[in-house]
A and B are shown apart, each in its own frame.
Chain A
Amino acid sequence: MLSYAVRRLLYSVVVLVAASFLVFTFVSLSGDPLGQLNLVPNLSEQSRQNVIDAKHLDDPIPVRYAYWAKDAVTNQFGTTLLGDRPILPDLWRVMKNTLQLVLIAELLAVLIAVVIGVYSARHQYSPFDYAATTFSFLGLATPAFWLALILQVLVVQVREATGHQIFPIASLSSVDHEGGLDFVLDRAHHLVLPVIVLTVASVAGYARYMRASMLEVINSDYVRTARAKGLPERTVTMKHAFRNALIPLVTLVALSFGNLLGGAIVVETIFSLDGMGLYFYNALLANDPYRVMAWLMVTATMIIVFNLVADLVYGYLDPRVRYD
C-alpha cells in the first residue's frame, strides 16, 4: 500500500503542475490584470508601469507562469498583483477558519446521518423512514443561499419579537471577547447558523447513502448467518452490518471533505465568514491571478490528498481490496 500511495502522490504532482499552468493561463486571459487600475481617473502612468515591471505583465504567459512558479516554491506563493502583499499569511488565516467550519459541519453531518440511516434501514417503510426520506429530499432540494438568508431573517424576527438574539447572523466573532474559552464559545456561537446550512445538505445526502448501504448489508448472507447463530439483534446490526455499511460513506465523506476545504463560497459570503470561499471570491473580483492560483494550489492539494485518503481508508476497512 505504501508504494501505491507514493505512486499516487507522484502522479498528483504532475497533475498539479499541469492544472496550475492551465488555470494560470485561463485566469490571466480572462481579464486585464490592470483592469482595476484602468477605472481610476488620473492614474499615474509611472505607478502603472511599476506594476507591469514588477509582475512581468508585458511578458508572454509562459514566462509569467515561470515567475509565478518560482515565487510559489521559493517565496510562499509570492505577493498580490497590486500592493505587493504576501499571499500566504492571508491564505493560512482563511484556511484555518474554513477548517473550523467544515470540520464541525462534517462531523455533525456524519453523526446525524449515520443515526438516521441506520435507524431508517432497520425500520424500513416505518413512519420514521418515510419522514427521513422526505427530509432528505427536502434537504437536497433546498438551495444553501436560501436557507442561509431565511435563517438570518428568522433570527432577526425572533429578536424583534422577544428582544433576545439567539444567534449572531454574520461574522466570525463578536466585537469584544476574551481569549481562551470565551473565544471558543463566541466562535462556536457565530458558527451555529453557517454550520446548520452546511449540515442540512450533507445530512440529507449522507443519510440516503447510509440507509442504502445498510439495507444492502442487512440482507446479505453473513448477516443472516449471524442471526441464525443466535446473536442479539443489536450485535448483528452494530458489529456485523454497520461496520461494513460504513465503508462507502467513509469514502464519500473523505471526498466531500476535500472539496469543502476549497471553501463553501455561498455560505461564507452570506455570513461574511473570512474563509477560503470568500477569499477566492474576492480574488476573482479583483482579477488577481496570483491569489487565485494560491487558492487553487491549496484546494487542489487538499482534494488530491483526501482522494488518496479515501482510497487508503477504503483499502484499510475492506481487506478484500488490495493496492499494488
Chain B
Amino acid sequence: MRSPVRRRSALPAIFAVAVVASLVFGPSAPAGPEITTAGTVIFVHDQEPPSLRGGWIDNNLLATGLLTNNIWHGGQIYDSRARLQPRLFEGKPRLVRTRPQTVSFRYKAAAVWSDGRPVTCEDLRATWRVFVNPQFNVVSREGWKDVRSVTCNGKSGTVVFTRPFAAWESLVSSGVYAAHVIRGKNMNQMFNDSIPVSSGPWRFQNWQKGVQITLVKNPRYRVGPPMKLDRVVFRYILDTNARFQALKAREGHVMEPQPQLQIAEFLNDNDFRVQRSPEYAYEHIDIQLGARGHPALRLPHVRQALITGIDRRQISQALFRTIAPGLPTLESLVFKTFERGLYKPNFSRWRFNSARAISLLRSKGCTGGPATPTDGNDDIYSCPGVGRLVFRFFTTTGNQLRTLAFEVIEQQLKRVGIGLIPRFQTAGQLFGGTLPSSDWDLMMFTYAGGPDSKITSNTLYSCGGDQNYGNYCNRRSTAAFNAATRELDPKKRNALLNRGDVQLAVDIPSIPLFVRPKWVISVRGLSGPVLNTTSEGTPWNVGTWQLR
C-alpha cells in the first residue's frame, strides 16, 4: 500500500538537491576556478554592456567605451584636460595638405597587439573599411565616409579625404581593430562576448554575465604606463542606492556616479576621495518652433519672456548646492564654461528678470496675467492669436534632480503668468518617440558630447539638421554652422561657431541651463584615478593606479 506521508516528506529534500545541483553543475556555475590575486580594483557601474562591440546600433553606450578604450587603444587619447596626447602614435598626426585634405601618421615601433603582432596602418585601414561597409550596423559613419583612401607603409599611413572634415584629428586617432582578427569576418557578430586581443594597457579575461567583466594587465603594452594592478573588475549594479551602498561596503573601489544627492554623503567622508569637474554634457530646455508645438512659442517675445522668467542660477544652486556648489550658469549653446578662450556668454543678455518677462508680454498685448511678479499667482497670460501661455513640459521620469528642476521652473514661471503641464516619460519613450515626433512644447534634457561635439552643431541647429527636432531655422546660423564643419583652421572654425551661437542667443531656440558636473568617487586606498570628462572616462590613466 502506498505511503503518501513518505512521498510528501521527500519533496523538500528533492527541492534542496535540485537547488544545490543547479548551483554546482548548471551553466550558472563558473567554467573553472577564479584565481584570487592581489592588486584588483573593482569599478562599480550601472550599465552592463549588451556586447563588447561598442559603436554598434545595439551598443552605443559610454559604459562599453570604458572597457574597450583600453583594449582598442587610440593613436591618441584625451587626457584629463581634454587634450589629445599621443599613445600608439609616435607624435601628433599631421595635416599635410588641405586640398584635398591629407593627413599622415605613424604608429610607434613598440605598439603591438597582446598576441605579439605589431599595430600598423593596416589596422586603421581595416577599421575604416568596417565603418564604411553598408552591411555592418555601426552607429555612425561620420567622418569615415568622407575618407577617400588610406595608403599604408608599415607603421606609417596617409589618409585622404573626399571633402574637408574638421574633426579629422580625433577621427584618425580613434581606436582601431586588429586587422588580422577581423579579416573576412561578419562584424555584426564579432566581439559579442569576448575580445581576443588588445593594444591597450589591459586585455579582456572573462565575462560573468549579469555580474562582472574582468580585465587583466596586458604584459605587451609598452607605449604608455603599464598597469601596476593585476586586474580591474567592472561590477554591474543597476540600483542607484545599491551602488552607493556597495562602495561604502567596500564591494567596490571606484565609481562614476550620475548626479545624485547621495554623493553628498561621501564629500565629508575621509575614507573616500571625491573628484568633480564640469563635463561636456549640458542641461538645457529645447523649445518647439514647429507646427506641432504651441503657436505662442513661435513668437520671439514669448521665448524672451520664458528665458528671462527662469532664474537659471537658482536652478543650478537648488540642484547642486550640496554636491556641486558654485556651478556656473551656462550662457552658450555651443561652447562650455571651461573652454577658456572659446566660451563667450552670448546668452547673458537674458539675465533673470521677472518684471522684464512680464513687461515683454504686456508690451505685445498679452493679458490675463499678473501685473507684477507674484508668489502663488494662478493667473495665466493670453497673447493675441495664440491663446493661453500654458506649455507641455517634457522631461525624463525617475530622476530626482530633474523633478526638482521642474518644480523650481514651474514656480518661477507661474510668478510671471506662464503655466506648465508636466509630462514625465521614460528615457526610451521620451527620446525614442516624443522628441523626434516634435509633438512637444518644451523639453528639458541633457546633450552629451565631447571636445569635438561643437563642430557638428549644425545637426542640432541648422535648417533641416538631422537632430533639429525643435524645427529651428535661421539662414545666418545655418550658414555659420555648416561652414564650421568644413573649416580646418581651428581659429576660423571657432569664430564661425561663435557667430552661430550669437544668432542662437538672439532667436532662443533653446535655453541653456548648466554644464553637468561629473564625479568620480574612489576609496582612499586607491591612488591614481583622475577624472576625465571625455568619453575616455576615469580608466584613461589606469596604468598609474595603485591599491595600498
Contacts and interface: CB of A to CB of B under 8 A. Distances in A.
Interface in A11-38: 31-32, 34-38
Given A44-B140, A100-B22, A107-B12, A50 B210 contact: no
Interface stretch (B279-287, B427-435, B472-480): B427-435
B432 A32 contact: yes
B134 interface: yes
A48 B58 CA distance: 11
A29 B95 CA distance: 50
A232 interface: no
Interface string A163-198: 001001111110111111101100100000000000
Given A31-B428, A169-B249, A287-B428, A270 B22 contact: no
B132 to A, nearest CB: 10
Interface string B445-484: 0000000000010010000001100000000000000000
Contact of B431 (A39, A278, A286): A39
A178 B29 CA distance: 10
Contact of A170 (B4, B28, B56, B242): B242
A160 B51 CA distance: 36
B56 A83 contact: yes
B1 to A, nearest CB: 14
A169 B36 contact: no
Interface in A121-143: none
A269 interface: yes
Contacts of B15: 103, 107
Contact of A165 (B136, B141, B250, B436): B250
Given A38-B436, A103-B18, A180 B24 contact: yes
B400 interface: no
A31 B212 contact: no
A94 interface: yes
Given A85-B51, A96-B28, A274-B209, A104 B34 contact: no
Contacts, number: 208
Interface stretch (B230-238, B305-313, B499-507): B230-238
A80 interface: yes
Contact of B57 (A51, A165, A273): A51
Contacts of B57: 37, 40, 43, 47-48, 51, 82-83
Contacts of A278: 210, 238
A244 interface: no
A41 B235 CA distance: 29
B378 to A, nearest CB: 35
Interface string A102-131: 011001000100000000000000000000
A155 interface: yes
B211 interface: yes
Contact of B139 (A44, A80, A107, A183): A44
A43 B140 contact: yes
Given A32-B433, A103-B15, A183-B24, A169 B140 contact: no
Contacts of B18: 103
B433 A171 contact: no
A47 to B, nearest CB: 4
A48 B189 CA distance: 17
A46 B40 CA distance: 42
Interface residues of B, number: 78
B210 A97 contact: yes
A99 interface: yes
A83 B23 contact: no
Contact of A82 (B58, B245, B436, B467): B58
B138 A171 contact: no
Contact of B242 (A96, A152, A165): A152
Contacts of B248: 156, 159-160
A71 interface: no
A92 interface: yes
B423 to A, nearest CB: 15
Nearest to B16: A107
B344 to A, nearest CB: 24
Interface in B199-253: 208-212, 214, 233, 235-239, 241-243, 245-246, 248-251
B47 to A, nearest CB: 10
B337 to A, nearest CB: 22
B239 A272 contact: yes
B188 interface: yes
Given A183-B30, A184-B24, A175 B142 contact: no
A175 B233 contact: yes
A35 B432 contact: yes
Nearest to B427: A285
A66 interface: no
B59 interface: yes
Contacts of A63: none
Contact of B22 (A41, A96, A153): A96
B251 A168 contact: yes
A287 B427 CA distance: 11
Interface in B27-45: 27-30, 32-37, 40, 42
B242 A179 contact: no
B209 A92 contact: no
B325 interface: no
A153 B140 contact: no
B9 to A, nearest CB: 11
A99 B21 CA distance: 12
A92 B5 CA distance: 34
A42 interface: yes
A59 interface: no
B23 A184 contact: yes
A51 B245 CA distance: 40
Nearest to A317: B4
B432 A170 contact: no
B137 A50 contact: yes
B371 interface: no
B50 interface: yes
Contacts of B435: 38-39
B135 interface: yes
B27 A104 contact: no
Given A36-B432, A96-B28, A173-B211, 4 more contacts: A42-B466, A81-B58, A177-B34, A272-B237
Interface of A: 31-32, 34-44, 46-48, 50-51, 80-85, 90, 92-94, 96-97, 99-100, 103-104, 107, 111, 149, 152-153, 155-156, 159-160, 165, 168-173, 175-181, 183-184, 187, 243, 269-274, 278, 285-287, 317
In the A-B complex, list the 6 residue pairs whose CB atoms are closest, starting with the nearest.
A35-B432, A274-B210, A83-B58, A82-B58, A42-B140, A47-B137
26 contacts: A31-B432, A40-B139, A42-B140, A42-B459, A43-B139, A44-B140, A47-B57, A50-B135, A50-B137, A83-B53, A83-B188, A100-B23, A103-B19, A159-B249, A160-B248, A165-B249, A169-B242, A171-B236, A177-B34, A179-B29, A179-B33, A180-B24, A181-B24, A183-B30, A243-B5, A278-B210
